[in-house]
Amino acid sequence: MVRSMVAAVAGLKTHQSKMDVIGNNIANVNTWGFKSYSFNFQDSMYANSINGSGGDVLSGGAGGRNASQVGYGSQLSSITNEFGTGAPSPSSNPLDCMIDGTGFFLVGNLVNGTFTNVADSGLNLSRVGIFRVDNNGYLVDDQRSYVYGYAVTEGTGIPEIPAAKSTYLAEGATISYSAGTGTNGLNVVTIGGVRVETSLELGPNSRDTDYKDVFEQWIRVAGADTNLQAYNFSFEGVNETMTNGTSGRINIKIEAKATGNNDNAVSSLATNTFGATAATQRIAGASWVPSVPAKYENDLSAIKIPNDPDTNQPYEIQSYKINEDGTIIGVDKQNRTIAIAQIALVTVENPNGLEKTSGYYYTPGANAGDVEAMKPNGGPSGKILGGYLEMANVDLANEFSNMITCQRGFQANSKIITVTDEMLSELVNMKR
């Protein structure tokens, strides 16, 4: 009778442990990347009531007998993780991503330089891709851990240089004015050696619009000058007014019609031909240079926005996208496509050998087997789904079913204690 009490207590404890696992699964039903746990029972130790013995075939011998054993209840066999992929949930953050496969992200504190040995790196594994870029340009998760992957090989991943035209704001270009000295008494305006006859009058009381109207006439006349046909001109305002027979100053924007490195020609035109005194805006033109396709290193490092080789400063990325192969692509202020890095995925030979730590991190345990990093390729390790987060793989219907069976098992073990107590009470009452 005492054995039944011991077995029932062991059953109560084990069912309580299973209920703890079920409660943890249900509590994390909305936790990103959570993997549900399953509780496994095993029967406890046994005591032999009758020992087994072999049969004797000699004359006068007895036959064999099986052992008779009584158990002492149940106990924990194992608690295992179910590593099936959870359902994807859309995210508004383009840097959020999930793994469609069995791989893990590699995250942790900053490791200087590059490395290949994941097991000895001291980093963590994660299934949650809540990523952001920090103030230093590194990709980090919401636990402030750096995300690791493969950097762009130096000399590759350089965006194209678009063709550009040289422009120059000729501030203080010379303009001369002579009233009534032209044909039929027209006024004469001269800018950059080009003479225009106009009925419009200019002077110290003239408005910017008056100068602009004269300048529009000048543009039509200047269009016939072969020295000026390679440029576009626009009026940018009056710098210094004038009176009849004197010179004043206006501001002219000069833009080359052709792309390429023709900045010297434009600036020379502004200063030598138009007599400009200063330039507040000067942009050198450039010829189109094709991009250099990105290649990625084979050693791991913390993912960081690369530097622009022209400025030696990090690219100013305005938007991001993560592709299925883990490549992170950005678009900078110049609307250029920039290859940033490729996220690494880690494969684990025995995922159930991983040990859970704080948050949603795992560390390789002694029984995890080989732990290796690789580039996402759509194989067993999986592919990256950008703009999604992985939901918990908790099956609520299954958890509630397990809860009912666990409750009934707990009640049955409680009943054994009650019945055993009643039997002991009957035994005590027999003496009275």
238-265 pLDDT, tens per residue? 989 888 888 999 999 999 999 988 888 9
Same domain, 348 and 419: no
Give pLDDT, residue 432.
65
> 97 and 129 in contact (C-beta within 8 Å)?
yes
Based on the fold, state whether residues 252 and 318 are members of the same structural domain: no
* pLDDT bucket at 1, cuts 50 / 70 / 90: low
How many domains, in total, are found in the chain? 3
Residue 54 domain-assigned? no
In this structure, are 24 and 75 located in the same domain? yes
208 with 249, same domain? yes
- Is the domain of 328 the same as that of 304? yes
Q: Which helix (H) or strand (E) holds 410?
A: helix 396-429
Would residue 57 count as lying in a domain? no
DSSP assignment string, 264-329: HHHHHIIIIIS---EEEEEE--B--B--B---B-SSBEE-BPPEETTTTEE--EEEEEE-TTSEEE
Task: Give the domain extent around 252.
Answer: 167-283
CA angle 276, 278, 282 (to 5 degrees): 100
Residue-wise pLDDT for 314-363, tens only, equals: 999 999 999 999 999 999 988 889 999 999 999 999 999 999 988 899 99
Calpha distance 48→401 (Å, rounded):
36
Tell the burial category of 66 from Cβ atoms under 10 Å away from its Cβ (0-12, 13-18, 19+).
exposed
**Boundary residue ending a domain (217, 251, 283):** 283
Is residue 79 helix, strand or coil? strand
Q: Are strands 46-50 and 68-71 parallel, antiparallel or unpaired?
A: antiparallel
Q: What is the mean pLDDT of the chain?
A: 91
Q: CA 125, CA 339: separation in Å to the nearest integer? A: 24
Q: How much is the average pLDDT of 178-200?
A: 93
Q: 378 and 311 share a domain?
A: yes
The reply to whether 123 and 223 lie within a common domain is: no
Q: What is the pLDDT of residue 5?
A: 85
* 60 domain-assigned: no
How far apart are alpha carbons 347 and 350 in whole angstroms?
9
Crossing angle (nearest 10°) for helices 2-27 and 396-429: 160
- Tell whether 260 and 214 lie within a shared domain: yes
Same domain, 369 and 397: no
In a domain, 159, yes or no: no
Say yes or no: 249 and 270 in one domain. Answer: yes
Same domain, 249 and 268: yes
Roughly how many angstroms between the first and final C-alpha of the chain, as a whole number? 20
Hey, which residues does 76 pair with through a beta bridge?
41
How large is the average pLDDT for residues 309-315? 88
Query: Is 158 part of any domain?
Result: no
Q: Which whole number is the average pLDDT over 41-50?
A: 81
Q: Does residue 260 form part of some domain?
A: yes
**What is the share, in percent, of the chain residues with pLDDT greater than 70?**
99
What average pLDDT does this structure show over 28-56? 86
- Which contiguous run of DSSP H or E holds residue 388? strand 388-390
Residue 242: inside a domain: yes
d(CA 324, CA 129): 13
- Domain-ending residue, one of 234, 252, 283: 283
Query: Domain end: 225, 259, 283, which one?
Result: 283
Is 268 within the bounds of a domain? yes
Query: Which residues sit opposite 341 in a β-bridge?
Result: 151, 328
**Residues 160-177: pLDDT tens digits?**
888 889 999 999 999 999
- Conformation bin of residue 237: beta by default, left when phi > 0, alpha when psi is -120 to 50: left
Instruction: Give yes or no for a contact between 343 and 149, defined as CB atoms under 8 angstroms apart.
Output: yes
Looking at the fold, whether 191 and 269 belong to one and the same domain comes out as: yes
Cα within 13 Å of Cα(283), Cβ side: 13
